[in-house]
Amino acid sequence: MIAEVYPSILRNRYPREGRTPDEHDAYSVARWLMETCERGHLGRYLNPPLTDKEREVAELEGWILGIA
């Protein structure tokens, strides 16, 4: 899977703990994916509630993971 993610929506959920900003962005996305998957909720982010027209556009252009 290839996904676009905006780290800015996740980076403040976790303490930085000495990571550089880029490292922390990567960490935050990976941790959010792991925690969301462990809770059994990742599927809803991979299949967001879209209208038929939005789904048609998303099939061509994609969507931002985590924005639902």
pLDDT in tens, 7-60: 988 999 999 999 999 999 999 999 999 999 999 999 888 888 889 998 888 777
* DSSP track, 4-54: B--GGGTGGGS--TT--HHHHHHHHHHHHHHHHHHTT-HHHHHS----HHH
Q: How many domains does the chain have?
A: 1
Tell me: pLDDT of 66 over 80. no
Classify residue 2: in a domain, yes or no: no
Beta-carbon contacts of residue 11 (< 8 Å; ≥ 6 apart): 24, 25, 28
Classify residue 66: in a domain, yes or no: no
What is the C-alpha to C-alpha distance for residues 46 and 19, in angstroms, rounded to an integer? 28
Classify residue 67: in a domain, yes or no: no
Residues of the domain holding 25: 7-61
Residue appearing with tokens 């550089």: 20
- This prediction has a pTM of 0.74
Classify residue 25: in a domain, yes or no: yes
